[in-house]
A and B are shown apart, each in its own frame.
Chain A
């Protein structure tokens, strides 16, 4: 045992129970005679203190140093632009939702004028991005080379496998999924080719998981793999394939489903024409393969669910062909069949079928249908209905939240009219999170005017004030970037 270790042992237990060592001869220190064990220990502790401090050596470096960041090619945002970002990050003068939007705006403006975030502000920005997806989505390209380098470093620290745990496989699985997702976004065909190449080496869980990646940018090229997956051993894989094929009305499976649906439909009635639907028969082997639920081992089979599956799989033109006219007319013939209309609606949404979505919107104010339409048409539709008042605003207002921002002047005007009404406070409250960014700059003046009148509704005043504040800050941001 070294001198220091003995000294420590004696000190920990106490001199009453442990002998005190002698100073090591190398130090050439003679303990004075006639001192108590406590004094000897304390004296040697003093010696150890000075010796330790005077003998410190640089520690050998453990682990690799991160490689230095490459040089940034974009110049940093300077002057007012840098100051405004720092203000937003460190002492936001606005509420947290506005701040998130403004930081996202800053990043977008910086990207447009080819400036980057000053290095020193990156950590605070990343902290905000952790909890705010709107900021996270705008990080690129404004964070520049240094930002990407820092992100990589932080990610490496998070995914660093803990020593002694066998977490390697999990990491590679998640990693591969992430890579495939990325590839699918940029080159969908290459992604499905890679998946086909590796298909046989994948476990059932991974097959189902990776198949899900094809949801992005799905098209006819993916059909062979999906068709093949209908024969997969694992049910999760078969289900995943069937639900993806539901989105491809041109596929062979869709044609098979059409063949099942057609005989069930017939137009009846001479004066009041209506479309009648029969329930499908028990599924055969081919139908089971296509994902139609098998009869339960005991009790009555759920025939309606069978029908739903067939409707979702078949092309929608089976309906128009049976009715002999366009979707609107077809839906009119289905009046009194809410469940069928609901199934058709789900199918139209799945395929983002505009024609059907338009016809269905006349019956149901459904946000999913609206999102099938081009942004301009969505706005037109909403503005028109808000003004007509044919549909309760309560049903329409939630649809506004899903619209891309900023809105056009017509819709903005219609919404502000609604907000300005006596009972418009609740509309303002529902729209509070989206209104500042959704209203175009010109609408801010109208908000200023509305703020000028006497109004007891505190929450409406707050929302309007937010809009005004957002736009004036936004104005400073635009001016700060050359």
Chain B
């Protein structure tokens, strides 16, 4: 990895103010112990306090670490250090890596390895890998069988019984699924625990989901016979992650990518950020970011932003999950999101998507010429007079920005309801 250009550094700044602050700091005065190697740049910056801030930057898979308390990310110190490095003003390569930087890098490698389940640090050993895979699938097979048994017990005793069960009962089922390396299923079971109490149609909801889970337990043993895309969808449903490194190595799709909309969900344990993107050829992908409570998210992208970046897609059926494979640089704001369809068209597309991938419950749709109705939870009406209920909508906000006029709405179709994410008003895309 070569040196970054100053522009490249500028594109990493979270906002203009940080960059201005960083430029002021990017002089040798406050810095000591700077250095770089192939992956890392490090240095100490004397701030207002007694102890200098320790700054480390991984320039290959960009990541930043600074001991300062700033909530900007990356902070001005990291940016300033990068600017110095870009100008060749840090101590050159070969300098001994500062202890704090190498320690941080080691921790990151360890964490990344734990996350992908494939330690990058160790050279791949095909035999050991096959053994681990066999162990994992054996564990999963047993877990799926166990889950199927639980489902039959569930319908034998009757769904009415489970409504009286405390959360711990569901949590125990979920914990067994996690132990069996099926975290995706575990999440669904935990969500069901609150749904059976929160939803008025809980009985149908639970019945249909039990059906979906049952189908999954039937599909799992037959997975050898599925197509690659079908298998990938099934893996995503049970929560068998595809290593990020594998995805990174696939074809990178060039941009510009238009941000259709973004949503943050918070189920109390884990927060998820979904960013829907559309490529130049109309391909729609979704980038998922996760953060535990209290942790910082990856920077959210503005709805309507046109991003100069490349993405790589996870395996599976469309719309596929994706990851950014190059720095994300917003270069313009779009005036629209493209041509939307009717509500009937969106529901027909959902039908087709269910046929292709029964495990998926969320579909991106762009609706044209819809007006906001304000009764109840709110709903949309298109020009043909057909309606679609909304979910998680800030009705006052939607009414205020649209004024009851027909607009284009992008959102996620889920369970027959639409979660609006962005709206096109007066030639500008705004978050819903």
- List of B residues within 8 angstroms of A126 by Cβ: 396
Of the candidates A47, A62, A120, the one whose C-beta lies within 8 Å of that of B401 is A120
Using C-beta atoms within 8 Å of the partner chain, give the interface range for chain A.
35 or more
With CB as the reference atom, state the residue of chain B lying closest to A47.
B211
A65 touching B397, Cβ below 8 Å: no
With CB as the reference atom, state the residue of chain A lying closest to B386.
A58
A41 touching B155, Cβ below 8 Å: yes
Given A14-B155, A58-B344, A63-B373, the answer on whether A7 and B207 have CB atoms closer than 8 Å is yes
B405 touching A69, Cβ below 8 Å: yes
- List of B residues within 8 angstroms of A17 by Cβ: 158
B207 touching A119, Cβ below 8 Å: no
A120 touching B397, Cβ below 8 Å: yes
A150 touching B400, Cβ below 8 Å: yes
The size of the chain B interface, using a CB distance under 8 A, is 53
Shortest Cβ distance from residue A256 to the other chain B in the assembled complex, whole angstroms: 57
A123 touching B159, Cβ below 8 Å: no
Of the candidates B385, B405, B425, the one whose C-beta lies within 8 Å of that of A68 is B405
B397 touching A42, Cβ below 8 Å: no
The distance in angstroms between the C-alpha atoms of A349 and B373, with both chains bound, is 52
Shortest Cβ distance from residue B163 to the other chain A in the assembled complex, whole angstroms: 10
A65 touching B152, Cβ below 8 Å: no
B156 touching A60, Cβ below 8 Å: no
A54 touching B156, Cβ below 8 Å: no
- List of B residues within 8 angstroms of A13 by Cβ: 158, 160
Scan B362-396; emit 1 where CB is below 8 A from any A CB, else 0.
Answer: 00000000010111000101100111110000101
Given A45-B207, A65-B373, A67-B404, the answer on whether A59 and B389 have CB atoms closer than 8 Å is yes
A120 touching B430, Cβ below 8 Å: yes
A59 touching B158, Cβ below 8 Å: no
Scan B204-220; emit 1 where CB is below 8 A from any A CB, else 0.
Answer: 10011111101100100
- List of A residues within 8 angstroms of B394 by Cβ: 123
Scan A42-76; emit 1 where CB is below 8 A from any B CB, else 0.
Answer: 11111111101111111111110111110000000
Given A56-B347, A62-B375, the answer on whether A39 and B152 have CB atoms closer than 8 Å is yes
State whether the Cβ of A12 lies closer than 8 Å to any Cβ in chain B. yes
A61 touching B379, Cβ below 8 Å: yes
A68 touching B161, Cβ below 8 Å: no
Shortest Cβ distance from residue B343 to the other chain A in the assembled complex, whole angstroms: 5
A120 touching B386, Cβ below 8 Å: no
**Beyond A12-B159, A62-B387, A123-B394: 14 further Cβ-contacts under 8 Å?**
A11-B155, A14-B161, A18-B158, A38-B151, A46-B214, A49-B215, A50-B355, A58-B343, A58-B387, A59-B387, A66-B404, A69-B404, A119-B403, A157-B374
Which of A7, A14, A62, A63 has the most chain B CB atoms inside 10 A of its CB?
A14
State whether the Cβ of B203 lies closer than 8 Å to any Cβ in chain A. yes
Scan A19-48; emit 1 where CB is below 8 A from any B CB, else 0.
Answer: 000000000000000001011011111111
Name the 6 nearest CB pairs between A and B, nearest first.
Answer: A45-B211, A14-B158, A58-B386, A69-B403, A46-B211, A123-B396
State whether the Cβ of A374 lies closer than 8 Å to any Cβ in chain B. no
Interface residue SS majority, chain A? helix
- List of B residues within 8 angstroms of A7 by Cβ: 207
Given A61-B379, A153-B374, the answer on whether A11 and B389 have CB atoms closer than 8 Å is no
B207 touching A146, Cβ below 8 Å: no
State whether the Cβ of A481 lies closer than 8 Å to any Cβ in chain B. no
Given A45-B207, A58-B347, A69-B405, the answer on whether A16 and B157 have CB atoms closer than 8 Å is yes
Which of A49, A123, A157 has the most chain B CB atoms inside 10 A of its CB?
A49
Report 19 cross-chain contacts, Cβ distance below 8 Å, ordered by A residue: A11-B207, A12-B203, A13-B160, A43-B214, A44-B211, A46-B212, A49-B215, A52-B208, A54-B355, A56-B350, A58-B344, A58-B382, A59-B388, A65-B373, A66-B404, A68-B404, A119-B403, A123-B396, A149-B404
A42 touching B152, Cβ below 8 Å: yes
State whether the Cβ of A8 lies closer than 8 Å to any Cβ in chain B. yes
Shortest Cβ distance from residue B376 to the other chain A in the assembled complex, whole angstroms: 9
Q: Which of B179-236 contact A (CB under 8 A)?
A: 203-204, 207-212, 214-215, 218
State whether the Cβ of B354 lies closer than 8 Å to any Cβ in chain A. yes
- List of B residues within 8 angstroms of A52 by Cβ: 208
- List of A residues within 8 angstroms of B151 by Cβ: 38, 42
State whether the Cβ of B28 lies closer than 8 Å to any Cβ in chain A. no
- List of B residues within 8 angstroms of A53 by Cβ: 350-351, 354, 416
- List of A residues within 8 angstroms of B211 by Cβ: 42-49
B400 touching A45, Cβ below 8 Å: no
Of the candidates A38, A46, A59, A149, the one whose C-beta lies within 8 Å of that of B215 is A46
- List of B residues within 8 angstroms of A56 by Cβ: 347, 350-351, 416
- List of B residues within 8 angstroms of A138 by Cβ: none
- List of B residues within 8 angstroms of A150 by Cβ: 396, 399-400
The distance in angstroms between the C-alpha atoms of A123 and B398, with both chains bound, is 10
The distance in angstroms between the C-alpha atoms of A13 and B203, with both chains bound, is 11
Given A66-B404, A153-B374, the answer on whether A48 and B157 have CB atoms closer than 8 Å is no
CB within 8 Å of B: which residues of A?
7-8, 10-18, 36, 38-39, 41-50, 52-63, 65-69, 119-120, 122-123, 126, 146, 149-150, 153-154, 157
With CB as the reference atom, state the residue of chain A lying closest to B431.
A120
A65 touching B400, Cβ below 8 Å: no
With CB as the reference atom, state the residue of chain B lying closest to A154.
B396
- List of B residues within 8 angstroms of A16 by Cβ: 156-158
The distance in angstroms between the C-alpha atoms of A323 and B351, with both chains bound, is 96
The distance in angstroms between the C-alpha atoms of A157 and B396, with both chains bound, is 12
The distance in angstroms between the C-alpha atoms of A57 and B387, with both chains bound, is 9
The distance in angstroms between the C-alpha atoms of A67 and B161, with both chains bound, is 47
- List of B residues within 8 angstroms of A42 by Cβ: 151-152, 155, 210-211, 214
State whether the Cβ of B319 lies closer than 8 Å to any Cβ in chain A. no
- List of B residues within 8 angstroms of A55 by Cβ: 351
The distance in angstroms between the C-alpha atoms of A39 and B217, with both chains bound, is 11
Given A12-B160, A50-B354, A65-B373, the answer on whether A58 and B400 have CB atoms closer than 8 Å is no
The distance in angstroms between the C-alpha atoms of A58 and B399, with both chains bound, is 21
B381 touching A61, Cβ below 8 Å: yes
Shortest Cβ distance from residue A19 to the other chain B in the assembled complex, whole angstroms: 13
Shortest Cβ distance from residue B282 to the other chain A in the assembled complex, whole angstroms: 24
The distance in angstroms between the C-alpha atoms of A18 and B347, with both chains bound, is 34
B400 touching A122, Cβ below 8 Å: yes
The distance in angstroms between the C-alpha atoms of A122 and B156, with both chains bound, is 54
A58 touching B156, Cβ below 8 Å: no
The distance in angstroms between the C-alpha atoms of A120 and B394, with both chains bound, is 11
Q: Which of B253-310 contact A (CB under 8 A)?
A: none
Of the candidates A18, A61, A146, A154, the one whose C-beta lies within 8 Å of that of B385 is A61
State whether the Cβ of B358 lies closer than 8 Å to any Cβ in chain A. yes
- List of A residues within 8 angstroms of B354 by Cβ: 50, 53-54
B209 touching A49, Cβ below 8 Å: yes
- List of B residues within 8 angstroms of A8 by Cβ: 203-204, 207
The distance in angstroms between the C-alpha atoms of A55 and B404, with both chains bound, is 29
Of the candidates A14, A43, A119, the one whose C-beta lies within 8 Å of that of B400 is A119
- List of A residues within 8 angstroms of B203 by Cβ: 8, 11-12
The distance in angstroms between the C-alpha atoms of A120 and B364, with both chains bound, is 24
Shortest Cβ distance from residue B337 to the other chain A in the assembled complex, whole angstroms: 18
B401 touching A119, Cβ below 8 Å: yes
Of the candidates B155, B214, B381, B416, the one whose C-beta lies within 8 Å of that of A65 is B381
B155 touching A66, Cβ below 8 Å: no
- List of B residues within 8 angstroms of A47 by Cβ: 211
Shortest Cβ distance from residue B377 to the other chain A in the assembled complex, whole angstroms: 12
Q: Which of B307-353 contact A (CB under 8 A)?
A: 343-344, 347, 350-351
A45 touching B208, Cβ below 8 Å: yes
Shortest Cβ distance from residue A96 to the other chain B in the assembled complex, whole angstroms: 21
Of the candidates B158, B379, B385, B386, the one whose C-beta lies within 8 Å of that of A11 is B158
The distance in angstroms between the C-alpha atoms of A120 and B423, with both chains bound, is 12
Given A46-B212, A59-B388, the answer on whether A66 and B401 have CB atoms closer than 8 Å is no
Given A57-B347, A59-B389, A123-B394, the answer on whether A38 and B155 have CB atoms closer than 8 Å is yes
Of the candidates A12, A45, A154, the one whose C-beta lies within 8 Å of that of B158 is A12
Q: Which of B414-432 contact A (CB under 8 A)?
A: 416, 425, 430
The distance in angstroms between the C-alpha atoms of A52 and B355, with both chains bound, is 12
The distance in angstroms between the C-alpha atoms of A382 and B379, with both chains bound, is 59
